Amino acid sequence: MKLAAIQAAFVSAATGRNEFETALLASVRAQGNASASERLNAYRANVKGAHLQALDQAYPVLREVLGPRYWRQLLERELPVYASPSSDLNAYGDFMPELLRRARSERPELRELSYLDALATLEWHVHRVRFVADDTAFDWDTFANLPGDVQASARFLRSKALAVVQLDYPVDQIWRSHNNLETVEDGKAERTYCCVHRTGRFDVGVTRLDRKEFEMLQSASTIPIGGLTGADTEALAQQIVAWIRRGWITGFAIDQ
Amino acid sequence: MSQRTSSARVLEGTGVGLRGPHVPAILAGRPAVRWFELLTDNHLAAGGAPRFQAESIAEHYPVALHGVGMSLGSVELLDIGYVRRVRDLARRIGAVHVSEHIAFAASGGLHSHDLLPLPWTEEALEHLAGRVNRAQHELGERMLLENVSTYIEYREADFSEGQFLSALVAETGCGLLLDVNNVYVNSVNHGRDPMELLNAIPWASVGEIHVAGHDARGGLLIDTHGCRVAGPVLELFAQVIGRAPDVPVLLEWDTQLPAWETLWHEAQRIEAARRRGLARHAA
């Protein structure tokens, strides 16, 4: 087999697909105490183990909610293949909300747990925010010295280490409870808005927003500052200053 | 191609592979570890805790970088962006050297996140050497490349593993990171004498030595890095130290991660074995 064919067959087989296995096994020397299939299975176990470990790290709350044994069994059955389009293991696992939606439609024991996909969505954002580049602080001096008309046409820039999320359940309570920050209240379906952000140098926090805050924070990067005026301009200004102080807004852009 | 000269730091004696859960204890207690090796891929994130940990440890200890994501043996396009991120991290933290593996991990746009074995063929050697040269050019320095543990060997082979490593060094000027546990694991898994490899490699190119634990599964030894270094590996290590007396040694422990104190104790056991090996060699 040529190198390219070996590699295609090996990655395919090691990540749980079988279509090239026969060709690959024919190119392998079987000797000693293990057959060629057993040897290939050692790689399958390694690959699966690495990906399951990555999912454990990305979804610690889901794992706890479902129980580690059920979580592992669910992943073993619902993940037919273990391959990733990225060399970055931290980028593996964005499929979890969809996987849970599918699992809930097929597994009676999960049918009532309709908040799971929302919890997965929230945890994925927490996971990603953890690894995003650190932002510099908002440059107050430069902003304050802009001419009034330029200031009004500028747009605020949200921190790169921030996600504004709309969820169908108040699962931020579950997340905070897991992190010993809050006790869980009634978890009925309820449109919930959250900001996932850094706290301190690298911890991640989840802060509940009301709908107005959510919409404003979501549009802050697209609407010129002059267009952000609401019914209460003073309250709006205070809100934006608070977000800048919390590091949620870290810069501004001036369109040419 | 030379090693980084911007850092006055050198790696000596036995170092420890840094793992995230141990960082708070290390920064608080500043144990007398000679040096740390950081898993490159764990610290490539643009910000947050991984970056902070790398920078904090490098402030207090000599460090080296050891990666698994470059997939140097792969027929995919070499990810130059990845190589440059490694270079930038190495420069930022003053890593003494950068190492990777003689393996491939990806094909057809899919990553296995495992170190898959290359065949010991002319085709693989030519391909790997070209990519190592390109990566070294982007890094601006010589890399160390590690012999990996394998559970499969291909029928088609133009070289033994030792001959392949030798030829790679000759064609690229790279250094070798000799993993003694992998030498032992492969010798058992493929039924051959570990000295075959040790007698074939160019010892002057060995820039780092790894030791780690392995587990038995079925009829194979698996390179799990999840337990203490086994006796037969330490016996082999004593012979290796005789041939590479000044080369830094690194203890790896990645799975079933113990408390820092346990790992530190194991590192001291390895350092004692290293000193015994040196004394035996001197006698």
Looking up residue A214, the CATH number of its domain turns out to be: 3.90.930
The reported pLDDT for the residue numbered A132 is 87
Please choose, from the candidates B155, B118, B122, the residue with its C-alpha nearest in 3D space to the C-alpha of residue A23: B155
How far A101 CA lies from chain B's nearest CA (Å)?
24
Distance from CA of B191 to the nearest CA of A (A): 6
| Phi and psi at residue A24, to the nearest 5° | -65, -45
Same domain, A53 and A137: no
Inside any domain, residue A137: yes
Query: What is the number of structural domains in chain A?
Result: 2
Nearest CA in chain A to B192: A32
Whether residues A47 and A141 share a domain: the answer is no
Among chain A residues, CA nearest to B78: A87
Q: Do B113 and A14 lie within an 8 Å CB cutoff?
A: no
B100 touches chain A (CB under 8 A): no
For position B5, what pLDDT does the model report? 43
Interface test with B, best of A27, A38, A46, A90 (most B CBs within 10 A): A46
Q: How far is A3 from chain B (nearest CA, A)?
A: 7
| Same-domain check for residues A161 and A230 | yes
Same structural domain for residues A176 and A236?
Answer: yes
In a domain, A98, yes or no: no
Of A49, A84, A119, the residue that ends a domain is A84
Judge whether A22 lies within some domain. Answer: yes
Task: Provide the residue type at B82 as one letter.
Answer: Y
Across the interface, whether the CB atoms of A83 and B127 are under 8 A apart is answered: no
Mean pLDDT of chain B: 94
Cβ–Cβ below 8 Å for A90 and B127: no
Neighbouring C-beta atoms of residue A196, cutoff 10 Å: 24
The structure's pTM equals 0.90
Judge if A78 and A144 occupy the same domain. no
- Give the range of the structural domain holding residue A186, as residue numbers without chain letter: 133-256
Query: From the CA of B100, how many Å to the nearest CA of chain A?
Result: 14
Choose from B84, B113, B182, B193 for mutation: most chain A CBs within 10 A: B113
pLDDT at B4 over 60: no
Asked if B42 and A89 touch (Cβ cutoff 8 Å), the reply is no
Task: Assess if residue A229 is contained within a domain.
Answer: yes
Q: ∠ CA A15-B211-B60 to the nearest 5 degrees?
A: 100
- Are residues A155 and A47 located together in one domain of the fold? no
Domain presence at residue A181 = yes
A196 within domain boundaries: yes
- Residue-wise pLDDT for A15-33, tens only, equals 888 888 888 999 998 777 8
pLDDT value at B6 more than 50? no
Query: Which of A84, A119, A141 is a domain's end point?
Result: A84
Same domain, residue pair A80 and A152:
no
Alpha-helical segments (H) within chain B: 23-29, 48-60, 80-93, 122-139, 161-172, 180-189, 194-198, 231-243, 260-282
Q: Which of B70, B72, B110, B221 to mutate to test the interface with A (most CBs of A within 10 A)?
A: B110
Same domain, A33 and A146: no
pLDDT, one tens digit per residue, over B11-43 is 999 999 999 999 999 999 999 999 999 999 999
Predicted confidence (pLDDT) per residue in A188-217, tens digit? 888 999 999 998 777 899 999 999 999 989
* Residues A80, A178 within the same domain: no
Query: What is the pLDDT at residue A244?
Result: 93
Does residue A50 share a domain with residue A153?
A: no
pLDDT tens figures, A230-239: 657 778 888 8
Tell me which range, A237-241, B136-140, B255-259, is most confidently predicted by mean pLDDT: B136-140
Is residue A79 domain-shared with residue A163, that is, in the same domain?
A: no
Helix (H, G, I), strand (E, B) or coil at B167: helix
- Coil, helix or strand for A135? coil
In a domain, A114, yes or no: no
Is A112 domain-assigned?
no
- Asked if B46 reaches chain A (Cβ–Cβ under 8 Å), the answer is yes
Residues of B in contact with A34 (CB under 8 A): 151, 189, 218-220
B52, B83, B114, B255, best to mutate vs chain A, most A CBs in 10 Å: B114
**B110 to chain A: which residues are within 8 Å by CB?**
11-12, 15, 83-85
Q: Do A3 and B121 touch (CB under 8 A)?
A: yes
Judgement on whether residues A137 and A252 belong to the same structural domain of the protein: yes
